[in-house]
Structure formats: C-alpha cells, structure tokens
Amino acid sequence: MAYGIRRFNERKTFTKFLDRFVCTVPNPLDTRAQYDRYTHQDLQDTSAQELRHELQRLRLRILLDERAPAWLYEREAALRKALRNLRLEGPGNALR
C-alpha cells in the first residue's frame, strides 16, 4: 500500500512539473484568457513561430506524460490546423 501512495505522489509531483515547465492545461473557469486558450480561440492572433514553439512543447508533454489529458491532443490538432491555415493564407497564397 505504501508503494501505491508513493507512486501516486510521484506522479502528482511529475504532473505539476510538466504543468509548470513544459505545457500547462488551462482552467477555463479561472480567467477569460485561459478560457480562450482552452477553447483554442487564442490561436487566431498567434504568430507561426509561437504556434510551432507551442506545438513542440505540447508534443514533449504528450511524450513524457503517461496519462496525458485529452485536451493536449485537441490542442495539437488545433495548432496543426492554425499552422496549415497560416500557410494557405500566407503571402502569395491568398485565396481570391
């Protein structure tokens, strides 16, 4: 039993580490900014470089977290879509 408690505490500590230093899962009830991030509405005004940087951090979080929250996979899809849209709407590729 002590092993199970220790394992739970280690996991909890590691999850806090991932949240703080790698990629945080926002709390949509906390602030408007976190709500926008949780619903991926913040991606509209984000540069391609920032999108790529967040995507790399997010992938690292998914690799390290054995029980990655489902929101991380949703965010990954939203980031990929936002990057794809930026490429399509970039200079010389504007739809007329």
What's the one-letter identity of residue 29?
L
In the predicted structure, residue 84 carries a pLDDT above the cut 60 = yes
Mean pLDDT, range 43-52, rounded to an integer? 94
The model's confidence at residue 66, banded by pLDDT at 50, 70 and 90, is confident
Q: Where are the domains of the chain?
A: 2-86
What average pLDDT does this structure show over 9-25? 81
Question: Average of pLDDT values for 29-53?
Answer: 95
How many Cα neighbours within 13 Å face the side chain of 14?
A: 13
pLDDT of residue 46: 92
Spacing of C-alpha 31 from chain mean position: 17
The pLDDT assigned to 89 comes to: 76
Residue type, 51: L
Q: Hey, what amino acid is at 8?
A: F
Question: For the whole model, what pTM was predicted?
Answer: 0.78
Q: How confident is the model at residue 96 (pLDDT cuts 50, 70, 90)?
A: very low
